Structure 1
Amino acid sequence: MSWTASSASSLLRGLTPHLVSSSLLVPWVWRGLPTCTRWVAATGHRAMSTASSALSTSTVESTHHDVLEITKQGLLLDKPAPTAVLLGWVGCQMRYLRKYAQVYADLGFNTVCGIMPTSSVFSGFTGPATDYGRFVMHTLATDKALHTGGVVISPFSNGGCIAYRYILDVLNNEPEFEDVRKNIKAVVMDSAPCYMTIPAGTRALSMALQVTNPIMYGLVFVGFTLFALTLAPWSRQTPTAFWNAMRDWDLGDHVMEAYLVSEVDKLMDFPALQALVAERQERRSTRPNGAPVDLVRFADSPHVSHLRTHPDLYRVVQHCRD
């Protein structure tokens, strides 16, 4: 079904018993949602709204010149602030990702924003993507303020999902990141994952390159097809391998999941995603005290445009799971 303000409000009330960490409960009052009023953590400490001037901003650069933009809360609370890790889409710019980060920052979150290079997203080799995932997790692991209050990861489109896939690899296989792993509380997929096909890949690449001319689009299609067919025998980035990774990932039953999708998204194979989420829901339902897995459908917002089209509803849905 399509979401409305009232249905989002009902979800908020229904998820209250499932919230894992009281430090993730923050205050907000939503216009048009009278039932979503101020929340105070069960431990008794009062969270406070955050002014932009209270934030400190910094950047971290890897040896490969990948950049993360970090904001930290400047308010003194008796518990550390939670952190939202935002993984941008192919063609994303940091100024776009900051709009999503501001939603979290206004609610008392630290934020870590990163965009994996397009060359790593489309590479047939795993090294660059693994290095990027390790860089993001190392940044969190070496700063207690960025993981002890709980972590929410939000990948956008397949560019963010591919980064997330390799973050999963390092979280599950490298002991130095165990503290970060156990503090992950929620994953919010925005317009993702998309089942990878040559037409979908062409549309995504054309969108990133801002191609509108039909002739140029045809050239992108031919080039991407040759690229995909050449690398397929050597790559882990086959559609089946990627989809299996998105279907089977596991960070524990306590991790809440939300998939924000639109029925008019031209890059999304909606039936395929619906089936993937249904399988994850069924698996989680067999486990005691498993956190919710939800598919949130928007009727009219384009790819990675839910915030622009439904700003209030987007925020309620995001933070129901945070």
Structure 2
Amino acid sequence: MIFFSETFGIRSLQTQAKRLLELVFDYKIENRPVLFHVFSNGGFMLYRYITEMLHTDKPFKNLKVAGAVFDSAPGRRNLIGALRALATVLVSTNVFLKYFLLLAFATTAVLLRILLYPLTSFIHESHYDALLNAPSRWPELYLYSQADAIIKASDVKHMADTRQQLGVSVKAVDFLDSAHVSHMRAYPTYYRNLCTTFLSDCLRASPH
């Protein structure tokens, strides 16, 4: 879904996002503050559809979102990073199938997300662009690294800066040398402290 359906503009993760929100109501925690902890671009894509539903679908509008943490996300139109991510997913796949899928993804991404981007953006806005100006205003914490080989630190910084200019309470922390989605492994105490402090701040600021 992440590498092929979404690249073709098929909103396949939208169904998963709705199921996730429905679970919140199934567990009857919709009246409690909810914090999203989002990992990598796959989680960010899912989060994009969640935020859209929270603002457009009546059943979900009353969900009390306290804040959102983004770990190693978001990135935009980074073909090399996307190929590295897909190669990681396919690490145990037959070698011929692996390289066929990598080639197919690269060809599709170059065509639809780079060469034809001015046209395809009108049909299916990229997840990155959609969330740059998202209507959500709850606090956001961005955890990223200059050493991330999949998500560019400059992409995360641009998102954080743009959201802050819109009036969102934003904090961005650069771990400098930790790998993709490995900041907690490299700095467990620091990572936990950042998240728990952010959560505490969100709950204090929440009017609910």
Normalising by the residue count of structure 2, what TM-score does the alignment of the two structures yield?
Answer: 0.80
Q: Of the candidates 63, 67, 75, which is equivalent to residue 186 of structure 1?
A: 67
Write the distance in 2 (CA, Å) between the matches of 1:173 and 1:221: 36
- The code of the aligned residue for 2:9 comes to G
Question: Is contact 1:141–1:179 with CA below 8 Å preserved after alignment?
Answer: no
Cα shift readout 1:39-86 (whole Å, capped 9, x = no counterpart): xxxxxxxxxxxxxxxxxxxxxxxxxxxxxxxxxxxxxxxxxxxxxxxx
Aligned to 1:133: 17
Cα shift readout 1:177-227 (whole Å, capped 9, x = no counterpart): 0121xx100100000001233222211101111279x99876554221223
Deviation at 1:306, TM superposition (A): 1.1
Write the distance in 1 (CA, Å) between the matches of 2:25 and 2:120: 29
SS at 1:302 equivalent: coil
Aligned to 2:174: 297
| 160 and 120 in structure 1: CA distance in 2 versus 1, 3 angstrom threshold | farther
Aligned to 1:227: 108
- The alignment status of 1:263 with 2:155, answered yes or no, reads no
Q: Which runs of 5+ in 2 are unaligned?
A: 200-208
Q: Of the candidates 231, 251, 254, which is equivalent to residue 136 of structure 2?
A: 251
**Structural RMSD (CA):** 3.1
| 221 and 309 in structure 1: CA distance in 2 versus 1, 3 angstrom threshold | same
Aligned to 2:86: 205
Aligned to 2:27: 143
Deviation at 1:138, TM superposition (A): 1.2
SS at 2:84 equivalent: helix
Normalising by the residue count of structure 1, what TM-score does the alignment of the two structures yield?
Answer: 0.53
Deviation at 1:270, TM superposition (A): 1.4
Larger gyration radius, structure 1 or structure 2 = 1
SS at 1:186 equivalent: strand
**Higher RCO by CA contacts (8 Å cutoff, separation 6 or greater):** 2
Residues matched between the structures, number:
195
Aligned to 1:124: 9
Write the distance in 2 (CA, Å) between the matches of 1:154 and 1:120: 23
Q: Which has the higher helix share?
A: 2
SS at 2:142 equivalent: strand
Q: Which runs of 5+ in 1 are unaligned?
A: 1-115, 285-289
Write the distance in 2 (CA, Å) between the matches of 1:237 and 1:305: 35
Q: Percent identity?
A: 26
Deviation at 1:302, TM superposition (A): 0.4
Write the distance in 1 (CA, Å) between the matches of 2:46 and 2:109: 19
- The alignment status of 1:167 with 2:50, answered yes or no, reads yes
Question: Is contact 1:171–1:177 with CA below 8 Å preserved after alignment?
Answer: yes
- The code of the aligned residue for 1:191 comes to S
